[in-house]
Structure 1
Amino acid sequence: MPNTFLHYTYPDHVVSDANRNKRQLLNSPLPSRSEAQALVRSTAVSMGVDPSLALAHAFTESHFDAAAVSPANAIGIMQVIPSSGEWASQMVGRELNLLDPQDNVVAGVAIIRHLQRTSSSLDIGIASYYQGAAGVKRNGMYPDTKDYVNKVKGYMGRF
């Protein structure tokens, strides 16, 4: 895959890891998009997160494609990067495997739950999922982050 996405360029080692993860996902049994959507819904409900918000994030991130991997090595349905997966593992109290669709969704939903609980607004929580809470606090929302927030909020009505 290329080493750029939007206006970001990623180091070769990150893109190499992303390519390795993509190959592994493509060689694994994965849920269909409709099965992935159901997985996001049920996980959100069980974790106390608004299902429409979790589904909107997942749709914006991957269109429910469990094999999605970005040049930044954002993995799976929820497009979680490995460092965020480690953080999510700490939040849920067990090691999560981002290449496992169920664990990937648990990681994403745990992050959404935390960000919504600790953000001053729905928009800031959504932006923080995409740009990182520290980045939003320090720099405000970048233009692509504003677009992301608008997409997620727009898709919430769909789910």
Structure 2
Amino acid sequence: MLVGVALLLLVAIALPGGRARAESYIEAPRVTAALQQGHAAEFGVGIRRNLLLAVALYCDAGTMGSPEGFFRVGRVLASAPRPLRNPALANAYLALAARLGHHEAIRLYDSRVASAIIGDECGLYGSSADGTRFDLDGYLAGQSSAKQRIALLIRNAARQYQIDPRLALAIAIAESNLDAAAVSPRNAQGVMQLIPATQERFGVTRPFDPEHNVRGALAYLRWLDKRFAGDWRLIAAAYNAGEGAVERYSGVPPFAETQQYVRRVLHFSGFATRERG
């Protein structure tokens, strides 16, 4: 049985274009952001090392379409201390990454261990990670000087627009990890990932200028804040899926990406921690 699984993995890697797919895959800004945040949690860059949070963030990247995200889930689960360590589940995620074209996954796949069946582990890891406090200031201190300047710009502008800076920063981190040059496959642009329609709506003429982009995003957040009576869950959901979707479902829409996005934003902002206090 184990030999059969290993052969399937080798076939997946050897399929024409399999390796090329992995190497040519362009991560969307939200995916890249989740991978970068997972790296910070895994290796303690700016924040305390937290492998559970790292797995949750890598899972988010994977479920948004990233082979690298699933590969990193498998890598962490294969080597983490107990109780997080799970070789059988690690194999399952490595196999998934390989099927998606990640050519390094086979190197870590352990043919001596039977693969587990993947269920809703990513959702469980995410829910468990929510119980830990995210050190927003520490995380920002671990970023480049250019990103720290953008974070300061967001803090100052958020106060002017009467938006909690933690919410604004959490959205910027979830959207692009403070990358002013980010462009998504749907043509969302800049640090706060504004689509052209939102740029036009809030007068943003230079989307790759951090100040223009941030001020347009904060004007939008101020509008959402009034529309949804300051409810951070609904504000974050609307920023991701549109206010129409939030109103249509009378709450956070049942879209996996939106639900993950809301969870990430609230975790980064410290919202859940304040609720429990």
TM range (shorter): 0.7 to 0.9
Distance (Å, rounded) in 2 between the aligned partners of 1:77 and 1:4: 16
CA contact 2:147–2:179 (8 Å) conserved in 1 = yes
TM-score by length of 2: 0.43
Q: Report the number of matched residues.
A: 130
CA contact 1:43–1:109 (8 Å) conserved in 2 = yes
Q: Establish whether residue 41 from structure 1 lines up as the match of residue 151 from structure 2.
A: no
Aligned ranges 1:6-155 → 2 under 5 Å: 6=64, 32-89=146-203, 96-120=205-229, 121-139=231-249, 141=253, 142-155=255-268
Distance (Å, rounded) in 1 between the aligned partners of 2:26 and 2:166: 32
CA contact 1:64–1:77 (8 Å) conserved in 2 = yes
Distance (Å, rounded) in 1 between the aligned partners of 2:189 and 2:146: 16
CA contact 2:170–2:268 (8 Å) conserved in 1 = yes
Higher relative contact order (CA 8 A, sep 6+): 1
Distance (Å, rounded) in 1 between the aligned partners of 2:244 and 2:26: 24
CA contact 1:96–1:107 (8 Å) conserved in 2 = no
Distance (Å, rounded) in 2 between the aligned partners of 1:144 and 1:116: 21
Structural RMSD (CA): 2.3
Secondary structure in structure 2 of the residue aligned to 1:96:
coil
TM-score by length of 1: 0.73
Give the partner amino acid of 2:154.
V
> How much has 1:136 moved relative to structure 2?
2.1
Give the partner amino acid of 1:99.
F
Distance (Å, rounded) in 1 between the aligned partners of 2:150 and 2:27: 27
- Provide Cα deviations, 1:9-45, integer angstroms capped at 9, x if missing partner: xxxxxxxxxxxxxxxxxxxxxx811111111111111
Secondary structure in structure 1 of the residue aligned to 2:259:
helix
Q: Unaligned regions of 5+ residues in structure 1, if any? A: 8-30, 90-94
CA contact 1:47–1:110 (8 Å) conserved in 2 = yes
